[in-house]
Amino acid sequence: MIEMSHVSKTYERRDGTPVAALRDVSFSIGAGEFVTVRGPSGSGKSSLLNILGCLDTPSEGTYLLAGEDVSRYSDKERSSVRCRRIGFVFQSFNLLPRTTALENVEIPMVYSGDRVDRAKASAILRRVGLAERAGHFATELSGGEQQRVAIARALMNDPPLLLADEPTGNLDSVAGASIMQLLSDLHQEGRTIVLVTHDEQVASHASRELLLRDGMLVSDRQQALIHATP
Amino acid sequence: MTSNQAFALALRTLSRNRLRTFFMMLGLTVGIGSLTALSSVGESTKQETMRRFKRMVGTFDTVIVRPGAGRTRGMPSLTTVEPSLKFDDAQAMATEVPSVRRVAEVQNAFDIDVKYRDKTASPSVFGVSSNWTDLRDDEVAQGSEITDADIQGLARVAVIGADVKANLFGDEDPIGKTFRIADVPFQIQGVLASRGAGPGGGSLDNLVLIPVTTASKRLFNRDFLTMVIAQLKDPEQGDRAVEEITALLRERHHIVPPAQDDFTITNPRAAMARVTEVGSTLSKVLTGVAAMATVIGGVVIMSLMLIAVSERRTEIGVRRSVGASRTDIMIQFLLEAVTVSALGGIAGIAIGAGGTTVATMIQQLPPAIVWSAIGSAVLLSLAIGLVFGLQPAWKASNVDPIKALRS
């Protein structure tokens, strides 16, 4: 599913000095894996996630997503890849205000070129347990509910890959646990999930952990699924 | 995104931010409304002026020759004109100028006392040829017009205008009655249909027509004309006719350069073009102000859109993350700007056209909804939205989704 080879990312500071966010990172992730990316802040987790999500391109190296070399794609081509293959879940939910839960979920559909399928959006909301909240505005929902809507939105175009950036970072432990349960369930249904976190508790949901430090991949280990649903 | 979806999205965004949308529309509504009203009122006034001008002149296939070099204002009369234009000159125009079909001879005077029993009036008296009603496009509402026999017989007969009939006769039937023009008795044989008001607003019905020969020999005792109306064979040939008549009269009057003409020729068609093309300075200034309001409306749209782009960075980031390309974002914001400017323009057109309709009804002008003006107002609003939406749309398309999603 994901094939990263020798990927580096260098930014320029305002004064022109280069900063290496990622250095020569190589790994691959198979379809259906649940992988966490951990590391202290500034270790390159976000840069890696942006490249994985086709929001950014590597300075060097190649990134194959489902066999396509997306590292040299144009903005339009990467937009299309994001639309069809990738669902994002953010720490701050990023729901649109003055827009209902259902309308938030429908947003990705208008960019897929299909007709907006309201029944499908309702079904996905039901899947994340928010059927009765469909008509509520984002601001009327609790944090946990907002994140569920965000996950439903990420699922709208049926992407094989879900990228989550600290999805429980803004939630209390109960809501966070239920979001992790939902992600685990989605993994069980066959989706590939890459989750960025620095919370070890959260990381323990995954079968594999990538550890970054100073832009380098320092550890890649398989682990037992201690929270997997039976 | 299909165009329907994009348009629906623009409408939804605008309706969710009603107050902002209202202010975005406001400037453009005022500007486009004023432009629509001004052009419609201008067109209405122009049409009314043309109508009155036509009413005064009668037909547009004529040129009018008057004695005297200066541009005397108003109608010529026996006391104010040079006695240089003779009956022979008129006949020569009819027979020798190729572009002229026929001429009407006119000898007129203002404020002549007329009396019927104990009633008096002071109409203009026109001694005219029998073809006058034809050339002037006058209609005889009652009785008969002046005939060739009247001209040849120096008959003391008259055709009176509607005002004279009203003043002297009231409801009485004037046909066959005898009245006095400057103490000379005339028998009334016809009444003209009313022409209404002229370009200056004065009545065109306060006149009496008598045979030109009678006027010359029995009433005024003068042998010159105050006006010759020459009908053209081809209405488009007004300029040529002016040249030919000028040449003929200069020769007949023995005028050699550098001496100036002792006559003046008016081409009504050209004169009307001048009258109607020159808008007043005031209306030009107002149009400029309205155009400025329209542009300011565009600037308001741009400013509010730019603010909206900053406020909507998260939305832009989310849309980008779920598959919107930079072009999609650009189109979305551009479409919002164009939609709001089109709505503002339509509101302006509605207000402008509505206001004009009310104003023309009050002023009793012909209603003039100028479709071309409305069409250009629509195009102008679309163009304003497009031009002033461009920068916000560009800014929106350049929002970095990574930063937008992190904030």
Minimal Cα distance from B399: which residue of A?
A55
User: Which residues, including other chains, have CB under 8 Å from residue B254's CB and lie 6 or more apart?
Assistant: none
Asked whether the beta carbons of residue A108 and residue B323 sit closer than 8 angstroms, the reply is yes
How distant is the Cα of B273 from the closest Cα of chain A, in angstroms?
57
pTM reported for the whole predicted model = 0.71
Any idea what the Cα angle at residue B244 is, between residues B242 and B249, rounded to 5°?
95
Q: What is the pLDDT along chain B (407 residues), one digit of tens a residue?
A: 777 888 888 888 888 888 999 999 998 999 999 888 888 877 777 777 777 777 777 777 888 888 887 655 556 566 667 788 889 999 998 899 888 988 999 998 888 889 998 899 999 999 999 988 888 878 888 899 999 999 999 999 999 999 999 999 988 999 999 999 988 999 999 999 988 877 666 788 899 999 999 999 988 888 889 889 998 888 788 888 888 999 998 989 888 888 888 888 888 777 777 766 666 677 778 888 888 989 999 999 999 999 999 999 999 999 999 999 999 999 999 999 999 999 999 999 999 888 888 887 887 777 777 788 888 889 999 999 999 999 999 999 999 999 998 86
Going by their DSSP bridges, the two strands A34-38 and A208-213 should be labelled as parallel
Amino acid at A127: R
> How do residues A94-139 score in pLDDT, each as one tens digit?
999 888 999 999 999 888 877 778 899 999 999 999 989 999 998 8
Predicted local confidence at residue A227, as pLDDT: 52
Do A132 and A149 form a contact (C-beta atoms < 8 A)? Answer: no
Output the DSSP codes for B270-328: HHHHHHHH---HHHHHHHHHHHHHHHHHHHHHHHHHHHHHHHTHHHHHHHHHTT--HHH
Selecting from B16, B319, B402 the residue whose C-beta is nearest the C-beta of A107 gives B319
Q: Which chain A residues have any C-beta within 8 angstroms of a chain B C-beta?
A: 46, 50, 53, 55-56, 75-76, 79-80, 82-84, 87-88, 90, 92, 94-96, 98-99, 107-108, 110-113, 116, 153-154, 156-157
Predicted local confidence at residue B180, as pLDDT: 93
Distance of CA B305 to the CA centre of its chain: 42
What CA–CA distance (Å, rounded) separates A101 from A161? 22
Asked whether the beta carbons of residue A107 and residue B401 sit closer than 8 angstroms, the reply is no
How distant is the Cα of A63 from the closest Cα of chain B, in angstroms?
18
Going by their DSSP bridges, the two strands B62-67 and B227-232 should be labelled as antiparallel
A193 burial via Cβ count (<10 Å: 0-12, 13-18, 19+): buried
The beta strands (E) that lie in B138-287 are given as: 140-143, 157-160, 178-181, 184-192, 207-211, 227-232, 263-266
Do B17 and B336 form a contact (C-beta atoms < 8 A)? Answer: no
Residue that has been written with the tokens 């939609």 in this structure? B339
Asked whether the beta carbons of residue A82 and residue B323 sit closer than 8 angstroms, the reply is yes
Dihedral sign computed on CA atoms, order B195, B100, B209, B275? positive
Minimal Cα distance from A91: which residue of B?
B406
Selecting from B1, B314, B405 the residue whose C-beta is nearest the C-beta of A111 gives B1
Asked whether the beta carbons of residue A116 and residue B327 sit closer than 8 angstroms, the reply is no
Q: What is the ipTM for the molecules in this complex?
A: 0.91
Do B190 and B144 form a contact (C-beta atoms < 8 A)? Answer: yes
Predicted local confidence at residue B76, as pLDDT: 58
Do B214 and B127 form a contact (C-beta atoms < 8 A)? Answer: yes
Asked whether the beta carbons of residue B318 and residue A99 sit closer than 8 angstroms, the reply is no
Distance of CA B34 to the CA centre of its chain: 20
Q: Which helix (H) or strand (E) holds A165?
A: strand A161-165
Asked whether the beta carbons of residue B402 and residue A56 sit closer than 8 angstroms, the reply is yes
